[in-house]
Structure formats: structure tokens, C-alpha cells
Chain A
Amino acid sequence: MGFSEADLQAIGLTLRLASLVTVVLLILGTPIAWWLARTRSRWKGPVGAVVALPLVLPPTVLGLYLLLLLGPNGPVGQFTQWLGLGLLPFTFWGLVVASVFYSLPFVVQPIQNAIEALGKRPLEVAATLRAGPWDRFFTVVVPLAKPGFFTAAILGFAHTVGEFGVVLMIGGNIPGATRVVSVQIYDHVEAMEYGQAHWLAATMVVFSFLVLLVLYSLNPNQRRF
């Protein structure tokens, strides 16, 4: 026995979803992390708490509210319909949106920690050498905080691959669009196809172990997660 065609389709879909979500999260999470690391605003606490919410909320809570918000009677659903985009639940892009929320803290927090660890000094020195803000970011912050970005990307990717509850709540189990590996494993178990479930599940264990191994071997100082 090996992977069925449906299993392979689920694996491909999962990798596509996780890659896309990682890219979106790096683009979206970096300014948030930057702001959280630098600001003295009284909003730092509340914003940081909102970003961290998915760490503690059960996926069912997030899934339920996404289903209500993105649905035809929810504000976001009415907005996407007004834009002509239709409704997000039961679509690949719906999963992207959900996963971005769900994996946000795993990307923001390592970057924020790395930027905080830099301190102000390298940036002030760069500024006295006439580096503009963008220049300072790309030639000073990014290289110095590289381990943080690396950790963020790997955790964001791995956490999206490991997502289950939220996908189950808003996915609708559509082959090629929303049936990711974790859902496929669940289906195999429910259908009493334990052999096929083992193949996929063991692959997930090996994959997750390798990801964390890479993370901890290449990046020994970032073990906080």
C-alpha cells in the first residue's frame, strides 16, 4: 500500500496552502512585529494580546466565528460579496484567510523577539551614517534578525500544515480545494481505513520531526517555541 491519488492531491494542496500562507504572513506579520517591538503606545498590550489569541483559543472558536463572519449574513461575507468575490467559506482562499489568522502568532512573535533583541543602537548608528528607513530595515534589521525570520517562516509553514480544526469548520471537505492532509487522515480513520491513515499520519510525524530538527539544529538560540 502507498498513497492513493486522493492522498497525493491532499498533500499537494497542503503544501500549496502552507507556502502561500507563509509568504502572506511574512509580508503581513513583519510590520506588526516591527511595531510591537518598537512602540511605546498604550495599544501595544491589546494588539499583542489579539495577535496571541490563536495560541490559546480552541480552533473550534476561531472556526465558528470565521464561519459566521465570512458567511452570507456576516459583515465580512457581505463585503466580499459586494466586491464581487463571492463567499470565502468552502474555498481555497477561505482557508488561506483562516490560516493567516490561525498562524499569525507563530510568525509575529519570533520576528518581534528578534527585533527587540537587536535594540535601538544598530539602527541609530545606521541613521547617523545616513541610511534611510527602508535601507536601515533591509541592510541592518533583516540580516541581524535573520534567525527570527527563519524561525517565523518555518513555524508558520509547519503550523499551517498541522492545522485541522479551523479547516474542518469552514472547509467543506472539497477535493483539491479544501481537503488537506489532516482532514484526509481524519476521513480515513472515520472510514476505518487504518492502513491508509497510517501512511499519511506517519508521513506527518516524520515531516514535523524533520522540520523541527532543522529549526533546532540551524538555529540553536531560538528555542523558545
Chain B
Amino acid sequence: MRCISPLLAITVSLTSVAQAEEVSVAVAANFTGPMQEIAAAFAEDTEHEAKAAFGSSGKFYAQIKNGAPFEVFLSADAAKPARLAEDGFTVPGSNFTYALGSLVLWSADAERIPAGEGAAVLQAGEFRKLAIANPKTAPYGAAAVATLQALDVEDAIKPKLVQGENIAQTYQFVSTGNAELGFVALSQVIQDGEIGSGSGWRVPAELHEPIRQDAVVLTQGKDNPAAQALMEYLHGERARNIIRAYGYNLPE
């Protein structure tokens, strides 16, 4: 009997390894905070493990098309998952919107944007630089430009615009004070449901097209139960609460 019990232990551990799969996920940089929490909760609730890589969606798109071993892609927009689907790199019909991004006009200076007066600050134009993410590549940048257009200040502010390559760099320009103001993701500055430091103005959703962030299962993840489990988990209450806590909205 003594010789059997170690064997038994090995067999048991092997079975549990076989059940707990690992899924490799490419995650848009703006979703870093929530994804870390979701991955921890996912491991607790399902015993599967989600291994996340964070970066710009544009780079992930290029990498996935060139054989990167990701199984699930959480993009910062809806366009890239759609394009990957057209090109046959995804499991058909697996796209869904996991979060709707919220845009905020933010300054590191607590006095810079008086409560609720973001639009007035933009119209007065008394600042040196306004940072936005590159509108050509970053959905938050495109939403920022749409907001400036809706407020009819685009031409006046254009000479003051500086662009970050992505939303993380845009935040860096503003947080170091090199740009007094900037349009960043609410998820970057939110703390306990409020704007944590500096001052900010939540841009009303009707000023720009919704920032739909889509998730998709990639061809490599087709037969991985953990990939499917993660997609289902993102629909679940616990994940949705985490996503909401970071200032994202959820589709109806």
C-alpha cells in the first residue's frame, strides 16, 4: 500500500492539470487594470488560467496575422476583431462587445477643470497643449476628435494638439504636466468610482460614437475549453462588476 499512495497522488494531480487549461489572451492596453482583476477572479472561479499580454491593439493585430500564439483577443475597438474575422483568423461568430469605453477630459492640476465645466474650458482655449491619442489608430483618439468637432472647437484647438501613440502615452503627457489637458480613458484615472487625482470632465456619451471594445476567439483557441470559458466568464456578473468599477459601460 505504501508504494501505491505516491502513485495515486501523481495520478490525481495529473487529472486536475488536465482539467485546468491555460488560455493566452492579447489585451488592449486600456483594459490592463480590469483584466488583471478578471484573470484573478477567473482563476478562482474556474481553475483555468488566463495568461494576458497587454499592448496596443494595432500591434496585436499585426502579430496575430503573422502567427502569434494568442487564443483570445480583447481589442480596444470593434474594427480589428472584425477585420481578423474577415481574414479568417477567428472562430466565426465569437465576437462580442465586452466593454464600452468612457472618455474623460483630464488634467493633473486639481484646479484646472472646475466641476462640470470641461466644455467651457475647451471653448475658452486658455492652455498651451491638449494631448489626445492618435486618432488614426486609437479609438479614444478618434472619440476625442469627434468631441472637439461636436463642441465646434476643432479648428481653434488644432495647433495645440499633441498626440500620444496610444492612450497610455497620452496619459503620460498629461500626468507629467507637459500637456495641461488631455483626453484619456476614464479607466486610467478612476478610483472608487471618482476621478482619483487632478481634475476631469466626463465627456457626455452623445458627443462621440460609442467606443465599442470587442473580444473574439482566435483560430488557435478553437479547441481550448479555457478560451470558451473566458468568453463566458466575461459575460458573468463578477466580471461585469469589475468592468463597471473601472468606469466602462456595458452593452445592454
Q: Real complex partners, A and B?
A: yes
In contact, B134 and A172 (Cβ under 8 angstroms): no
A36 to B165 alpha-carbon distance, docked (Å): 39
Interface string of A49-75 (1 = CB under 8 A from B): 000000000000000000110111100
In contact, B165 and A190 (Cβ under 8 angstroms): yes
A72 to B177 alpha-carbon distance, docked (Å): 6
Query: Which A residues, 187 to 214, have Cβ-Cβ distances below 8 Å to chain B?
Result: 187, 189-192
A90 to B176 alpha-carbon distance, docked (Å): 13
- In the complex, whether A9 has a CB less than 8 A from a CB of chain B is no
* Chain B residues within 8 Å of A169, by CB: 169
* Chain A residues within 8 Å of B128, by CB: 87
* Chain B residues within 8 Å of A147, by CB: none
B6 to chain A, nearest CB (A): 48
Contact of A168 among B59, B169, B177 (CB under 8 A): B169
* Count class of interface residues, chain B: 20 to 34
Task: Name the residue of chain B whose CB is nearest to the CB of A90.
Answer: B162
Contact of B163 among A68, A87, A173 (CB under 8 A): A173
In contact, A190 and B173 (Cβ under 8 angstroms): no
* Chain B residues within 8 Å of A90, by CB: 129, 162, 178-179
A172 to chain B, nearest CB (A): 3
Total number of residue pairs linking A and B with CB closer than 8 Å: 63
Number of interface residues of A (CB under 8 A): 22
A70 to B173 alpha-carbon distance, docked (Å): 12
A67 to B129 alpha-carbon distance, docked (Å): 14
In contact, A190 and B59 (Cβ under 8 angstroms): yes
A-B contact pairs, 24 of them (CB 8 A): A67-B172, A67-B173, A67-B178, A70-B178, A71-B176, A72-B177, A73-B176, A87-B178, A90-B129, A90-B178, A168-B169, A169-B169, A172-B131, A173-B162, A174-B163, A187-B137, A187-B165, A189-B58, A189-B59, A189-B62, A190-B134, A190-B137, A191-B58, A192-B80
